[in-house]
Amino acid sequence: MTALLPDELIAEVRALSKGSNITDSLLVALNEWVQIRHVRTLNEAVAKKPLKFQKNFAADDVRQVNRKRSGGRQPRSQS
């Protein structure tokens, strides 16, 4: 496949994506773009129909259920 793209854009994508070559850089950039679009679509869906919690919802109760399901393991830190 051939795509005619501005050299400045390719250089910026390579610098920001830290890809080992142009193909790798474009794969990183395109995958990230697709993920962002999915998040945007989900955000739009939630904006149209906001999430509603059940009556008497308690986050602590949900955590306890999740801990039981995971065998008591604590989730990994996202940092």
User: What is residue 39's three-state secondary structure?
Assistant: helix
* Residue that has been written with the tokens 């306890």 in this structure: 64
The pLDDT of residue 55 is: 87
The pLDDT of residue 54 is: 83
- For residue 13, the one-letter residue type is V
| Beta carbons within 10 angstroms of residue 25's beta carbon | 20
Q: What is the mean pLDDT of each run of 10 residues along the chain (79 residues)?
A: 93 95 96 98 96 85 86 63
